[in-house]
Amino acid sequence: MSPGFASSVRPRWRDRLCAAACALALIVPVAPARAQEPATERNGLPSLGDSSSEDFSVGTERKIGDEILREIRVDPDYIDDPILLEYLQTIWQPLVAQARARGNISSDIDQRFAWEPFLVRDPSVNAFALPGGYVGVHLGLIAMTATRDELASVLAHEMSHVTQRHIARSIGNSKRQSLVSIAGLILGILAASRSGGADGAQAAIAGSQALAVQGQLNFSRDMEREADRVGFAVMSGAGFAPGGMAAMFEKLDQNSRLNDSGGFPYLRSHPLTSERIGEARARLGTAPPVAPVSVLEHTAAQARARVLMDTRVDALRRWQALDTERNLATAVPDKLLGAYESGLASTLLRDWPRADASIAYALGIVRGNPRSDARAERAVALLNVQSLLARGDTAKAASALQPYLSKSLNKDASRPVTLFAAQIALAGPADDAVMRQEASDLQTWVALYPNDSMAWTLLSQLWQRQSQPLRAIRADAESRYALGDLSGAAERLRAGQRRARESSSVDFIDASVIDSRLRDVEAQRRAIAADEKAGR
């Protein structure tokens, strides 16, 4: 990555996130943290005491988080990369399970909050918690972490902001404001920030700069320490090496001393002090030992994040050029890092010979090294499937994917494998039986994960190829709904109604589903419009 890249990226994402933070800051100024004895919450964990979190209800927090994420999902810097997201989930889900086991996730927020991480195409080293259980992760954070344990320490810290209700505490006197005022102001500033010369948005951002710079949601230092403490217990209990948090702190501290250059916003929103770093080191003696784990799967994720941070041609050519330098590396992870980066960059540049050479080299590393594991090999194999599918070689892509169709390394079905299988069915020779099977698999998937826009899109295409127009229209509408485009979803559902009226051979059940979903979507649109009107 070039030294100047961090300062030359589009500021849109940072401005919009800052705008959301400023909206909350403008509504309720955060009082300085008061020194007090830690109390005990009903979940049994040490806490900062009973603040006014009850005034900012669980439902309110989730609704505001949904409003913010609806804006985020339409931003080009929001990235849905199935392979990288699946890896992120392999770290996130054990943390959520451990938080539940420890009682950190109380019953009132377990079902109401989203517990969803998402990716942001941004090279800066950052992560942040949003209201309602959403946690954003910049690609730059994944790119700079050397192990899964370092990444887990950040995710556990951010999750602890959610489980300890720090957002609600930071808005302790929000009872003076109605939900519609909060959501309306957030949406108003976010909308203004998209309009170019938005004087109102700039004034709001400038006026709240002193508060926003302390963090996206203005967590106090006491809250940061609590998130450290609770997060450490969660990550170590989930089986991650406890040294990951201390290593991450030390790495951030070292980089801040050398040169931040705006690339480490995590250092400003999560102020590091010698006390916090010392506490992280001191906790190492209290954690149970953890068996060493191969770093190679994380290395593949790290390489993928680096390339996807900037997909401009010049940047891709720099990553591709690593195929001439990888043999100079002595450490196995470094060899894999360069080979994966070159293989992915060459795929995105559609330079198939160089992509094949780099991917073959990477596969040789993970298959021939005693420190390798099945997950690292799988990570490279999925890159191979992606590359073969991108060039239209569906036969080889299907062959490369086959070992992972019948056995999943996760308890649930694999999202990238499921999506790749559907893409292969669509791109390959017309085979009704195959497409029916893939449509059935996707139907099962979206029943479990209804907010998967990419899966709904592929399902729509499969139904269209099988001459099921109403099902295709409904799936297309659900794809738009999952992205927060309620207007687009309603438009597609109305198109489905028109199609049903014009056809004499309509499946009554399909038509009824479209009618029901349109009523639901329209009801949500009216509720949002009422909130915005009341907020104005």
Dihedral Cα 331, 334, 335, 338, nearest 10 deg = -170
246-250, 417-421, 437-441: range with lowest mean pLDDT: 246-250
Beta bridge partners of 118: 136
For the chain, the domains span 5-286, 325-535
In this structure, what DSSP letter does residue 30 have? P
The answer to whether 26 touches 207, Cβ cutoff 8 Å, is yes
**pLDDT: is 367 or 259 the higher one?**
367
Cα 454 to Cα 81, 380, 432, 482: the distances in Å are 10, 22, 21, 9
In this predicted model, what pLDDT tens digit does every residue of 6-21 receive, in sequence order?
Answer: 333 333 444 545 544 4
pTM over 0.85: no
pLDDT of residue 505: 78
CATH architecture of 325-535: Alpha Horseshoe (1.25)
Give the contacts of 200 (CB within 8 A, at least 6 positions apart): 188, 189, 192
Q: Which two tokens stand for residue 154?
A: 């950040």
CA distance 52 to 446: 38
* Type of residue at 15: D
Q: Which two tokens stand for residue 46?
A: 């040490």
Which range has the top average pLDDT, 53-62, 205-214, 235-244?
235-244
In this predicted model, what pLDDT tens digit does every residue of 195-228 receive, in sequence order?
Answer: 544 455 444 444 433 334 334 444 577 788 888 8
Q: Which two tokens stand for residue 423?
A: 């893409």
Confidence category of residue 266, pLDDT binned at 50, 70, 90: low
Count the alpha carbons within 13 Å of 237 in the hemisphere toward its beta carbon.
Answer: 18
Mean pLDDT of the 413-417 span: 92
CA distance 330 to 117: 34
Give the contacts of 199 (CB within 8 A, at least 6 positions apart): none
Q: What percent of the chain has pLDDT over 70?
A: 74
* Type of residue at 78: Y
The answer to whether 405 touches 417, Cβ cutoff 8 Å, is yes
Sheet holding 134-138, edge to edge: 78-79, 116-120, 134-138, 127-130
Beta bridge partners of 40: 46
pLDDT of residue 503: 82
Residue 26 has pLDDT above 50, yes or no: no
Mean pLDDT of the 522-535 span: 84
pLDDT of residue 264: 62
In this structure, what DSSP letter does residue 11 have? S
Residue 447 has pLDDT above 80, yes or no: yes
pLDDT of residue 306: 97
**pLDDT: is 340 or 50 the higher one?**
340
Q: Which two tokens stand for residue 60?
A: 């309110």
